[in-house]
Structure 1
């Protein structure tokens, strides 16, 4: 059973990674490229159409730090983005498949597409919406609290949100209410940043970055929603296939 689930997670993860890359290419990547033009604290030349600006010409003078490395724009950047999305897809698919299989064995769900959509939506709430309430997705040039604090808070928030949603949907009676504090508690300890929202001191650049930031939050939300709904459906269909072919039941019986 374990081998079948892992192989299935790899296949689903590849599909999810490619889909997420496509979502980002349409939604978030153009916004990131536009925002990167304003990362420099020097005054920038403003363009009416950010998307028409040739970011490739700016790449040579664009510095993230003396020792920082970033993939070059174009094929290299697309390649590393796709690889990271595939690995993330494999990890999340593995978690979903194991969770779905545990619920299936206990008779709580049937591996069907609509059940997959529900679990995918819950994953979206736990992994994207809950952290975004306290720390919305950021564009290049945004000022933020220390990275280590934000990462630790993100992990704790996702764990609390996942546990809280699980209690709300799986517990019975008054015990469901125990999930509410888990959903709310992390929002009281959000890492804060003092000072300007954006590092660029140019007021016109700040206005442009603010608009891009709002667009980025919505684009990120839609991309992640598509990712999680697709993940839920694919995992449900794969689990149904494994169950129908006896790969899960036979393994459980032999165990």
Structure 2
């Protein structure tokens, strides 16, 4: 059973990851590239002499410090993005596979979309309520506090959904509601109040497209995972004990 679950998770991750990477290439990446054209544009005003001095200092600093590596636009960037998407899909698939096994709630084609919806709510929608997807050039809080809040929100929301899947008792519903609400009462780290050259409509479109792409990813992952799990389980059931599948 574990071998079948592991194989189904990896194949589902590969399929969902590649399909999602294709959507990202045509819908998400162009928005990121557009936002990158606004990087470096500040909203501060300076006196002429001060501005000239600051630009000289910035140029000297740029010459002294080596630039961080980044993939080149085009095929290299697309390849790295696709690889990252597939690896993330594999990680998420293994997580929900492990939860399925320990909770004794099999992932099937019949409930695959429900697993996908739960993953989307826990890992995308709930964290995005406090930390909306951000474009390059937008002000953001420190990375570690954001990661910590995101992980806590995902775990709390996922735990609430799992609790509701196991029981509908009144105490379980109350606890689930508390788990979902508490991270948002605590609040996500607040971004610094700094000007950004990124247009508001571009940021809004990016958040919507990112969440939409995430919803498609989770629907694909849940449905494909469930279908493969059914196929592998049926094949194991028809294979005689000790025979090579």
Aligned to 2:56: none
Q: What are the equivalent positions in structure 2 for 1:58-77 lying under 5 Å apart? A: 66-77=66-77
How many residues are matched?
A: 220
Cα deviation digits, residues 94-125 of structure 1 (max 9, x gap): 2233334455xx4x567224x10111011100
Deviating beyond 4 angstroms after TM superposition, the runs of 4 or more aligned structure 1 residues are 247-251
Cα deviation digits, residues 34-93 of structure 1 (max 9, x gap): 1000011269xxxxxxxxxxxxxxxxxxxxx84422111001000100110110111111
1:124 aligns with 2:93: no
Aligned to 2:193: 195
Aligned to 1:32: 32
Gaps of 5+ in 2: 44-64
Aligned to 2:8: 8
Separation of aligned partners in 2, 1:188 and 1:248: 52
* RMSD value, Cα: 2.6
TM-score, structure 2 as length reference: 0.81
Bigger radius of gyration, 1 or 2?
Answer: 2
Q: How many angstroms does 1:153 deviate by? A: 1.0
Q: What are the equivalent positions in structure 2 for 1:203-242 lying under 5 Å apart? A: 205-206=197-198, 209-242=199-232
User: Which residue, out of 178, 182, 186, partners 2:179?
Assistant: 182
Separation of aligned partners in 1, 2:238 and 2:127: 34
Gaps of 5+ in 1: 44-64, 199-204
Contact 2:23 2:213 in 1 (8 A): yes
Q: What are the equivalent positions in structure 2 for 1:59-98 lying under 5 Å apart? A: 66-98=66-98
Separation of aligned partners in 2, 1:101 and 1:240: 14
Contact 2:116 2:220 in 1 (8 A): yes
Aligned to 1:142: 138
Separation of aligned partners in 2, 1:133 and 1:181: 16
Separation of aligned partners in 2, 1:139 and 1:218: 12
Contact 2:107 2:229 in 1 (8 A): no
Separation of aligned partners in 1, 2:29 and 2:173: 40
TM-score, structure 1 as length reference: 0.78
